[in-house]
Amino acid sequence: MKRITLMILMFALVAPVFAAESNIVVIVNPQSGVEKLSKDEVIDIFLGRYRKLPGGRVALPIDVAESSSARARFYQMLVKKSSSEMSSYWARLVFSGQTSPPFQVPDAKTAIELVQSSPNAIAYVDRSALTADVKVVFELKE
Amino acid sequence: MAVDRFTIRGFGTAGVTTHDAEGVQFRRNVGQGEGAEEGDIDFNVDSLAGVQLEFELGSKVDLMLQGVSRLSADGSWGARMSQGFIRYSPDESLVMRVGRVGYDIYLLAESRQVGYSYLTVRPSPEFYGQITDDDIDGADISYTRRFGPGLIRARVFGGSGSGELGFADGTHRASKSNIYGSTFDYIYRGWTGRVAFVQFNYHSSEPLRQLAGALRFTGFPAAVAIADDLSQDSMKALGVQIGLAYDEGPMLAQVMYGAGNADSLTGPNFDKSYALFGYRWRKWTPFVAHAGSYDREPIHDAGLPAIPMLQPLNAAVEAVQAATRSTQHTTSLGVRYDFSSRVDFKLQFDRTRVRDSALNFDYRPPTSTGSAGPFDMNVIAATVDFVF
């Protein structure tokens, strides 16, 4: 009984850490003038429907590599779609010449660097990868 | 102008198709000059391949070229440029395209050529099978803005279409038309609602003018009235489409209604409906669909006496009307399996009841060169789709 109580206590202590690390945050450049985004606005920007930030600035969405777990979790939490479903979605738009998918970079570090250098850039990263010189405008919680 | 970025992409479908209707060739649209024969394993009807080149010429301009190879109206595998346009987007709200552009009539899969982008093996022959090509040489403009919690998008397009029609007697002919239209979408999260209008102005063809001349020569008032109809410089057909789709999480559902009204005996007057439901479980997505197309007008006779000398004229008048018939309906059951984010496999069974339709070729005696039916057919197809 004592052992079970100890395990529950350990889990209770560790669980919030896991939860905090698994949250995904959407980030922009502090110069973008954007304070926060709604879920609908994030969906519209990353799904290529309407790439404008509040205030009128054109949004440049950034995807990390398809192999990244942050990317899979971001779209799963945002629109409940798997990688293959997102690929199918983009095939619809790309091959009909409507629009292009987000600009792809290899990792979160490059995504953050791009956001730091461009007031139009918008990316998503694990909260644990966050740096001080970008602004969080939306958070997806698991 | 310098090229900032160059991207090459491709897509394709390798499919096998078979069915059980004796004397009938199954095809997926009227632009195919041959179909799958009863009992044969056909590799042509549901297969195609395409490649796309995109040249980014700055932050607001790009050039898109896309070529597709597939079964064409002369029964051979032909390659054609399906898209080739300059896209200019001064701001994300406004997108203008000039050149050969796809016109926007597919609610959830804007191109019917990319099998990987939709759930079923093929777009519904009932709903889309009478469209020979889904591109125009012209331009389109789309405007998107936030409206309430979602987005509203309006698109207008116009240009000339140059599809080819294949006929059961092995002949084929160009179907030249001017096409104008507009679509209005409301998009909110997984929901998309659409109202679309498309007008086709078909140019009169030489065989129709010759038939009109022969009918007028008979002097019978009813035949002369038909001759006046057939000798119009152009025939107008207006299509209206209303659709609602839901695509979020594991569920995909779509319902559509379409109506066509032509101002000539040779044009289509139809009602069409389509419903699709799919639900993903891990990598599997089973689906069920139903589509129907119903001609509103009966086939009119030429109004000539039933004497042997005039019989060819009577038959010709009925044949030109029969070429646009599409009364049939299909229930489909299938499953899609996603191997990866680039490749899928699909298996689909269709039960089609053909009543009076030129979508498939009917060679049952007496040999017909017009519409087919009545008959029932079971179609089975398996495809592998890929994109890169």
Dmax over Cα atoms in chain B, in whole Å?
71
B349: pLDDT confidence band, cut at 50, 70 and 90? very high
Determine the Cα–Cα distance for residues B342 and B357; give it in Å rounded to an integer: 36
SS3 B276: strand
Give the count of beta carbons closer than 10 Å to the beta carbon of residue B298. Answer: 8
B1: pLDDT confidence band, cut at 50, 70 and 90? low
Contact (CB<8Å) B111/A100: no
Contact (CB<8Å) B97/A97: yes
**pLDDT on residue B64:** 94
Contact (CB<8Å) A40/B189: yes
Contact (CB<8Å) A59/B92: yes
What are phi and psi for residue B217, nearest 5 degrees? -65, -30
- Which pairing describes strands B326-338 and A135-140: parallel, antiparallel, or unpaired? unpaired
Q: Which of B11, B341, B344 to mutate to test the interface with A (most CBs of A within 10 A)?
A: B341
User: Above 60 in pLDDT, residue B310?
Assistant: yes
Q: What is the pLDDT averaged over residues B47-53?
A: 95
DSSP run (H or E) holding B91: strand B77-91
**pLDDT on residue B373:** 73
Determine if the peptide bond prior to B374 is cis (ω within 30°): yes
State the CATH number of the domain containing residue B321.
2.40.160
SS3 B67: strand
Across chain A, how many H-helices and E-strands are there? Answer: 5, 5
B75: pLDDT confidence band, cut at 50, 70 and 90? confident
B101: pLDDT confidence band, cut at 50, 70 and 90? very high
Could you give the percent of chain B with pLDDT greater than 90? 56
**pLDDT on residue A17:** 43
Alpha helices in chain A (DSSP H): 2-22, 39-46, 69-79, 83-95, 108-117
Q: What is the mean pLDDT of chain B?
A: 90
Determine the Cα–Cα distance for residues A140 and B138; give it in Å rounded to an integer: 43
pLDDT top residue among B105 and B153: B153
**pLDDT on residue A104:** 93
Q: Given its phi and psi angles, is residue A120 left (phi above 0), alpha (psi -120 to 50 degrees) or beta?
A: alpha
Q: Is B281 on the interface with A (CB under 8 A)?
A: no
**pLDDT on residue A5:** 55
User: Would residue B329 count as lying in a domain?
Assistant: yes
User: Above 60 in pLDDT, residue A9?
Assistant: no
Provide the residue type at B294 as one letter.
Answer: Y
Sign, CA torsion A128/A132/A133/A134:
positive
Determine the Cα–Cα distance for residues B281 and B195; give it in Å rounded to an integer: 31
User: Above 90 in pLDDT, residue B191?
Assistant: yes
**pLDDT on residue A7:** 53
Q: What is the pLDDT averaged over residues B253-264?
A: 94
Count of A-B CB contacts under 8 Å? 97
User: Above 80 in pLDDT, residue B361?
Assistant: yes
**pLDDT on residue A16:** 45
Nearest to B254 by CA among A98, A46, A92, A102: A92
**pLDDT on residue B371:** 61
- Nearest-Cα distance to chain B for A3, in Å, is 37
**pLDDT on residue B24:** 92
Task: Cite the beta strand spans of B92-190 per DSSP E.
Answer: 94-102, 135-147, 150-166, 172-188
B92: pLDDT confidence band, cut at 50, 70 and 90? confident
User: Would residue B226 count as lying in a domain?
Assistant: yes
User: Would residue B140 count as lying in a domain?
Assistant: yes
Q: What is the pLDDT averaged over residues A102-130?
A: 94
The domain A23-140 belongs to what CATH superfamily? Answer: Periplasmic binding protein-like II (3.40.190.10)
Per the structure, the count of domains in chain B is 1
- Burial of residue B249 (CB within 10 Å: 0-12, 13-18, 19+) is middle
Q: What is the pLDDT averaged over residues B362-372?
A: 68
- Which pairing describes strands B270-279 and B150-166: parallel, antiparallel, or unpaired? unpaired
Measured between CA atoms, the residue of chain B closest to residue A85 is: B341
Q: What is the pLDDT averaged over residues B166-183?
A: 86
**pLDDT on residue B367:** 59
User: Would residue B82 count as lying in a domain?
Assistant: no
Q: Is A59 on the interface with B (CB under 8 A)?
A: yes
Residue B112 DSSP code? T
Q: What is the pLDDT averaged over residues A96-121?
A: 92
**pLDDT on residue A18:** 44
Contact (CB<8Å) A97/B50: no
Measured between CA atoms, the residue of chain A closest to residue B337 is: A84
**B280 interaction partners in chain A (CB closer than 8 Å):** 82, 85
Range of the domain at B235: 92-387
Alpha helices in chain B (DSSP H): 125-128, 206-218, 221-230, 311-322
**pLDDT on residue A19:** 44
User: Above 60 in pLDDT, residue B111?
Assistant: yes
**pLDDT on residue A134:** 95
**pLDDT on residue A2:** 55
Give the count of beta carbons closer than 10 Å to the beta carbon of residue B383. Answer: 24
User: Above 80 in pLDDT, residue B288?
Assistant: yes
Dmax over Cα atoms in chain A, in whole Å?
64
Q: Which of B110, B133, B142 to mutate to test the interface with A (most CBs of A within 10 A)?
A: B110
C-alpha dihedral over A120, A70, B342, A99, to 10 degrees? -20
**B92 interaction partners in chain A (CB closer than 8 Å):** 50-52, 58-59
Residues B136 and B158 sit within 8 Å (Cβ to Cβ):
yes
Alpha helices in A96-141 (DSSP H): 108-117
ipTM for the complex shown: 0.80
What are phi and psi for residue B31, nearest 5 degrees? -85, 0
A4: pLDDT confidence band, cut at 50, 70 and 90? low
pLDDT top residue among A128 and B176: A128
Determine the Cα–Cα distance for residues B319 and B266; give it in Å rounded to an integer: 9
**pLDDT on residue B368:** 55
Q: What is the pLDDT averaged over residues A80-107?
A: 88
Q: Is A95 on the interface with B (CB under 8 A)?
A: yes
Determine the Cα–Cα distance for residues B251 and B115; give it in Å rounded to an integer: 19
B350: pLDDT confidence band, cut at 50, 70 and 90? very high
Determine the Cα–Cα distance for residues B297 and B371; give it in Å rounded to an integer: 14
**pLDDT on residue B109:** 55
User: Would residue B377 count as lying in a domain?
Assistant: yes
CA atoms within 13 Å, Cβ hemisphere of B270: 28
CA distances to A82, A104, B204, B306, B319 from B214, in Å: 62, 64, 16, 16, 15
